[in-house]
Amino acid sequence: MFRVQNLFALSSVAFLAFGFVLSKVPGAAGITLAISGHRGYGIASQTPLYLIGTLFGLFAFFYSIGYLSFNQTMAHWHFALSVLGVLLIIIGWALFPNANINLIVASIAVGLLFFLSAQLWFAFDITRAVVHLLGS
């Protein structure tokens, strides 16, 4: 089985590469915002991918230097729930122009649930690790 550091690093590269490819697609301009009848672009389509890729890269770094010392099971669950959540959010976002609104909302809501539950579990485990470190 892959080490969690490698999984986070590979997914970071994948998200950054997908963001780069998406920046070259002519029809992927960004999120259109309409404020007082004026139209503008809030963020480019690739920006969330760059952000998620950077966060996954940071997790890979912290896992590799031993700063986040969790057991392998927790680390793999953290990775799996994070990636699954992000992919469901991306699917919901990609379906936005052409799909049923219920499908879009369900995909984004379930994706956020998975991603946030992984981060909540991570926060509890890092608090436990810090308390254990301070108690030693």
Q: Model confidence over 29-39: pLDDT tens digits? A: 555 555 566 66
CA angle 58, 59, 65 (to 5 degrees): 90
For 38-49, what is each residue's pLDDT tens digit?
665 566 767 777
Distance, CA of 122 to chain centre: 14
In the chain, what are the domain boundaries? 1-67, 71-135
pTM above 0.85, yes or no: no
DSSP letters, 76-97, are HHHHHHHHHHHHHHHHHHHHTT
Tokens of 5: 């550091």
Amino acid identity at 70: F
- Cβ neighbors of 122 (< 8 A, separation 6 or more) are 78
Positions in the chain short of pLDDT 70: 1, 26-43, 45, 68-69, 95-99, 136
